[in-house]
Amino acid sequence: MRKSFAVLGMGKFGQSISVELSRMGAEVLAVDQNEDLVDQVKDQVERAAVADLNDPESIRKLGIADMDTVIVTMATSMEASILCCMIAKESGVKHVVAKAKDHLMGHILQRVGADEIIYPEEESAKRNAFRLISPDILDFFNIQDTLSLVEMVPKSSWVGHNLIELNLRRKLGMNVIGVKVNGKDIQNPDPERKIEETDTLMIIMRKSDVSNVI
């Protein structure tokens, strides 16, 4: 079953995460009060809406209660972020993620309902550190407190073998959820297909296991 996300705030971060989630097959509702920002992303997500994120009734009318996850990205607006987190939780959303500009803001957003806080500058530093220390890692995203999504090229020892032979889940704690072949994303890849040098692997793994691919 497809996961559904409402992304509130279409700044650079909000647009990027909306497009990435949509590209990975999720149902995405992208929202901002600026129509121009919504227009920039509307053709790349399933749904897009213009709404006043400082108005409780406008937020409720978006239907966020039906979403698996709500992502609040307006780190420059404490008032709107607090309001969106509170209403999402009041509406019964199980997982609310909020972007914060600093740890004080993150602490406040957790107090009003956010289940997870994202600090973009810290996350960017971690992602770049992993990329610099391991040439195989192309990108790195935290998706939960304990889980990460790693985009990487296959190690030379994996090329010519299939996922059954490699048994990466048991040996390294890696769950390959997708493969990019010649620029095309393939979800739930054939475990008997041999991995090629030009492939890009999409892997979910515990943060504590990421060192296994370095």
Q: What is the pLDDT of residue 28?
A: 96
Whether residues 79 and 175 share a domain: the answer is no
**Which residues have C-beta within 8 Å of that of residue 190, sequence separation ≥ 6?**
none
pLDDT > 70? residue 133 = yes
pLDDT > 80? residue 31 = yes
Residue where a domain stops, chosen among 118, 136, 162:
118
The one-character DSSP state at 207 is G
pLDDT > 80? residue 146 = no
Q: What is the pLDDT of residue 144?
A: 66
Whether residues 166 and 189 share a domain: the answer is yes
Whether residues 208 and 127 share a domain: the answer is yes
Closest CA to 175 of 212, 138, 139: 212
Whether residues 8 and 64 share a domain: the answer is yes
Confidence of residue 164 (pLDDT cuts 50, 70, 90): very high
Whether residues 15 and 113 share a domain: the answer is yes
Whether residues 110 and 171 share a domain: the answer is no
Average pLDDT, the chain: 90
pLDDT > 70? residue 145 = no
Structural domains counted in the chain: 2
Range of the domain at 109: 4-118
CATH number at residue 24: 3.40.50.720
pLDDT > 90? residue 140 = no
Q: What is the pLDDT of residue 71?
A: 96
Whether residues 99 and 160 share a domain: the answer is no
Whether residues 99 and 136 share a domain: the answer is no
CATH number at residue 136: 3.30.70.1450
Q: What is the 3-state secondary structure (H, E, C) of 141-199?
A: EECCCCEEEEEECCCCCCCCCCHHHHCHHHHHCEEEEEEEECCEEEECCCCCCCCCCCC
- Which is higher by pLDDT, 5 or 185? 5
Q: Encode pLDDT of 63-104 as tens digits.
A: 999 999 999 999 889 999 999 999 999 999 999 999 998 889
Residue where a domain stops, chosen among 103, 118, 133:
118
Q: How far is CA 172 from the centre of its chain?
A: 22
